[in-house]
């Protein structure tokens, strides 16, 4: 009998390190304070939950494959053309679809040093080569990205603001990047945290998508809309790019309950405004209190903070993580982003924030008060 040959994935697939999500539970199963995945502490709008529950009546029916009601609701809110919006199962799916449609073996795609890890996975899954551009002050560096463009470059991924640093590029800087990139290089502006940004010099990407033929913006319902579990993202694209994505996406890639909840969530502007306000206040208070404990905090425009711990003397990020977990608090370890000495902390409810600050106060053994 001849030996059976095992099937194997395409070359390069097994070189991809799987994405490791933020921890969500600890041993013992008791309740935790989970500030590890940049989710909103408020949950979804009650209107979205209501729409989701109502959608249970139709689970035996396929959803509208074009997610028209959701695209129209997004288009109405932002004044966009619904035909140029493509919805996906989270923005992760759209990032992967963009790579699948526009990258292949021999191509290069650039992202920044501490950029969101899904880019590397998407690029490699498409058989292309990731190229990393160094950052300056933990912020994407336009000149460094431009310097890494080669004849093989087909795409640039830019998270703005970036996860896990929380830093952002101004609208002028992004425009400068677009202008310097060759026309056949697709610029993907991943604006997963755009709703949280209050800086006057920020623009999520709508303007550039409207005015250039080679820029795409991706957005998500996982963060400020509190629908991470439903998996809803959208991309705003030039016509031809929307057409390409629509050819390769799953025909029913966004579920009916997700579409219904997404439409309802978009309409609850009060919930969004409250989240933005809470985030603005508590991100500032947390940064200040953590600095008072002697910890370095990277200035953030998003709903999380990158907190840097000392290297040794029992106060390292690994030890802090262990200590916090002993108090049932989960932050995000960020070694794989190049930060072995930092933890990422999502802004939580007031009570969660105070509990974390108390715990870190105890951990650091600080004399100064960490209470805002």
Ligand X SMILES: Cc1ncc(COP(=O)(O)O)c(C=O)c1O
List contacts with ligand X (CB under 6 A).
Answer: 38, 90-92, 116, 159, 163, 190, 192, 220, 222, 228, 233
* Closest to 224 measured CA to CA, from 261, 165, 266: 266
Instruction: Give the C-alpha distances (Å, rounded to integers) separating 178 from 51, 146, 199, 203, 250.
Output: 39, 9, 20, 13, 30
- Nearest distance, CB of residue 115 and ligand X, angstroms: 8
Nearer to ligand X among residue 55 and residue 159 (C-beta): 159
Closer Cβ to ligand X, 108 or 190, answer by number: 190
In angstroms, give the least distance from the CB of 312 to ligand X.
Answer: 30
Judged by beta carbon, residue 125 or residue 364, the one nearer ligand X is 125
Q: Whole-number minimum distance, CB 82 to ligand X, in Å?
A: 19
User: Would you give the distance in Å from CA 142 to the centre of its chain?
Assistant: 20
DSSP secondary structure string for all residues of 31-45 = --EE-SS---TT-S-
* H helical segments located in 161-316: 171-180, 206-211, 239-248, 256-267, 269-292
- From CA 162, how far away is CA 164, in angstroms rounded? 6
Residue 90, C-beta contacts closer than 8 angstroms, at least 6 positions apart: 220, 222, 231, 232, 233
Q: Is 41 or 90 the residue whose CB approaches ligand X more closely?
A: 90
Q: How far is the CB of 21 from ligand X (least distance, A)?
A: 9
- Alpha carbon distances (Å) from 162 to 64, 90, 109: 32, 17, 17
Please tell me whether residue 255 adopts helix, strand or coil conformation.
coil
Smallest gap from residue 89 Cβ to ligand X (A): 8
Pick 254 or 370: Cβ nearer ligand X? 254
What's the full length of the chain, in residues? 372
CB of 222 to ligand X, least distance (A): 3
When the beta carbons of 171 and 218 are compared against ligand X, the nearer one is 218
């Amino acid at each position: 009998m001849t030996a059976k040959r095992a099937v194997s994935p395409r070359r390069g697939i097994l070189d991809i390190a799987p994405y490791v999500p933020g921890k969500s539970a600890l041993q013992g199963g008791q309740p935790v304070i989970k500030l590890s995945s940049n989710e909103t502490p408020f949950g979804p709008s009650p209107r979205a939950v209501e729409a989701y529950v109502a959608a249970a009546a139709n689970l035996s029916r396929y959803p509208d494959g074009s997610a028209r009601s959701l695209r129209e609701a997004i288009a109405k809110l932002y004044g966009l053309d619904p035909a140029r919006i493509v919805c996906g199962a989270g923005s992760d799916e759209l990032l992967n679809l963009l790579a699948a449609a526009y990258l292949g073996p021999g191509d290069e795609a650039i992202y920044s040093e501490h950029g969101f890890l899904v880019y590397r996975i998407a690029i490699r899954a498409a058989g292309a080569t990731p190229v990393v551009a160094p950052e300056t002050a933990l912020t994407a560096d336009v000149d460094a990205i431009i310097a890494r463009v080669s004849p093989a470059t087909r795409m640039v991924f830019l998270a703005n603001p970036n996860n896990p640093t929380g830093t952002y590029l101004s609208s002028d800087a992004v425009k400068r990047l677009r202008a310097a990139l060759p026309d056949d290089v697709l610029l993907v502006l991943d604006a997963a945290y755009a709703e949280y940004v209050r800086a006057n010099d920020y623009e999520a990407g709508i303007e550039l998508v409207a005015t250039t033929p080679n820029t795409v913006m991706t957005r998500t319902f996982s963060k400020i809309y509190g629908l991470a579990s439903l998996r809803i993202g959208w991309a705003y694209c030039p016509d031809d790019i929307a057409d390409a994505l629509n050819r390769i996406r799953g025909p029913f890639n966004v579920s009916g309950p997700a579409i219904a909840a997404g439409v309802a969530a978009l309409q609850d502007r009060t919930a969004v405004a409250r989240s933005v306000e809470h985030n603005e206040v508590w991100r500032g208070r947390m940064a200040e209190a953590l600095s008072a404990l002697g910890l370095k905090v990277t200035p953030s425009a998003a709903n999380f903070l990158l907190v840097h711990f000392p290297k040794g003397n029992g106060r390292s990020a690994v030890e802090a993580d262990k200590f916090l977990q002993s108090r049932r608090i989960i932050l995000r370890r960020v070694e794989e982003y190049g930060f072995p000495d930092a933890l990422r902390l999502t802004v939580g409810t007031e009570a969660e924030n105070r509990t974390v600050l108390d715990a870190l106060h105890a951990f650091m053994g600080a004399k100064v008060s960490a209470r805002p």
